[in-house]
Amino acid sequence: MTLPHDSIQALNERAHALIPGGAHTYAKGDDQYPVSAPPFIARGKGCHAWDLAGREFIEYGMGLRAVTLGHAFEPVVQAATQALQLGTNFTRPSLLELQCAEQLQSMVAGAEMVKFCKDGSMAVDGAIRLARAHTGRNLVAMCGDHPFFSTHDWFIGGTEMNAGIPTATHQQVLKFGYNDLDSLRALFDQHPGQIACVILEAARTEEPAPQYLEQLKALSHAEGAVLVFDEMITGFRWHNGGAQTVYGVTPDLSAFGKGLANGFSVSALVGRRELMQLGGARHGRDRVFLLSTTHGAETHALAAALATMRFYEQHPVVATLQARGARLRLGFERAAARHGLQSQVALLSRDCNLLFVMRDQQGRASQLFRTLFMQELVGRGVLAPSFVVSYSHTDADIDHTVEAIDAAFAVYRRALDGDINTFLEGRPVQPAVRKRG
């Protein structure tokens, strides 16, 4: 069934009237996309998605990087369906909790103990709490160059969107620069014996400098702080064992999610037994309330995670993500050169995690030109807040996307040489986390 444009727009207005922001995730809201983008997705298969009007798109970003294998991926769907038929939630643990934990432990070198939860914020928050309990300290040293760690007060208080957050809460968070060991060392010097943990992504849009992660770990431990890696993005995209395996640096605690269950709600905190066991009862110290929720271990979600991890072990998922991304990067860069846009457009991060940057005539990052680029892609059947690929993207999908990119760059070129406002179909996109409307 397909719906006419007016009916879809009416549904969108109803959503905004009922749901703050019109969507339950800010990054999926209308303000993140051009007006031509679909307000709703009706269904998906592989890397393709269809909207309520029946339009088909090659999708990138794939559920904010959570769907690494593909939409409605059959082995994962089958595993979740079988678990659903046996019940989703009991008064005692299911065997899947042990099986899934053992599977994750076998893949991640630093996972001496495992605790599952439902989203990345919860897992990261658990790491912060354990570090504070273990060290008896309150301050958190966080990489200020990495955009998002948690939805909770300690992190959101330091963003522009900090209404409702007590000042005292976010004042306990200090920021250091990525690949800048001296900036972290300065924090330890300024706050001796007060920093509980150091948290960062092992890599994001740039690679760690030689020996940076090793030296950061050594410095953290020398100062008595716990080292935490946020592997929400890098886990199951950089390597089956996460970025910590790629770079050969094992943190004390690490948080996994997104690709862990191919879009099902499963995240995990893993790490050293000395720290993780504080969330249990078999130790002589004060207990830490660690990731205990009613729906934290629903069977169908854990079954999906188990099936996803086993598929990773049996198939070259990460290598495929890298290859598809490399093909897309090459096509993007060749198209940019054809239209003389090398100074205006760029792709950041690893091939498995491509993020695009659009710039204006002066070379400044531009929301207007980002909107134009996304708008032109939508009109050519590509829905792309990024170019993050999945295992289901084929060479044909990539090649079609490159053709759409080339056509979009032709419009981009004309907009640079003229007035971009005459090319836009509506208002520009906005940052997801911002202070005002």
Q: Tell me what pLDDT residue 436 has.
A: 78
User: How many CB atoms sit inside 10 A of residue 181's CB?
Assistant: 17
Strand, helix or coil for residue 70: coil
Q: Tell me what pLDDT residue 160 has.
A: 87
Cβ atoms of residues 123 and 268 within 8 Å: yes
Q: Tell me what pLDDT residue 437 has.
A: 75
Cβ atoms of residues 372 and 423 within 8 Å: yes
Q: Tell me what pLDDT residue 435 has.
A: 79
The edge-to-edge listing of strands for the beta sheet with 226-230 is: 113-117, 267-271, 253-256, 226-230, 195-200, 139-143, 173-176
Strand partners of residue 436: none
Question: In this structure, what token pair is assigned to residue 391?
Answer: 């295992």
Q: Tell me what pLDDT residue 3 has.
A: 93
Q: Tell me what pLDDT residue 170 has.
A: 84
Question: In this structure, what token pair is assigned to residue 232?
Answer: 């929400």
Q: What does the pLDDT look like over 287-310, one tens digit per residue?
A: 899 999 999 999 999 999 999 999
Weakly modelled stretches of the chain, pLDDT under 70: none
Question: How far is Cα 107 from Cα 159, in angstroms, rounded to an integer?
Answer: 34
Q: What is the DSSP letter of 427?
A: P
Q: Which domains does the chain have, with CATH numbers?
A: 5-71+316-422 (3.90.1150.10), 89-297 (3.40.640.10)
Q: What is the DSSP letter of 28?
A: G
pTM score of the predicted model: 0.94
Q: Given the structure tokens 């032109």, which residue do they identify?
A: 376
Q: Tell me what pLDDT residue 434 has.
A: 83
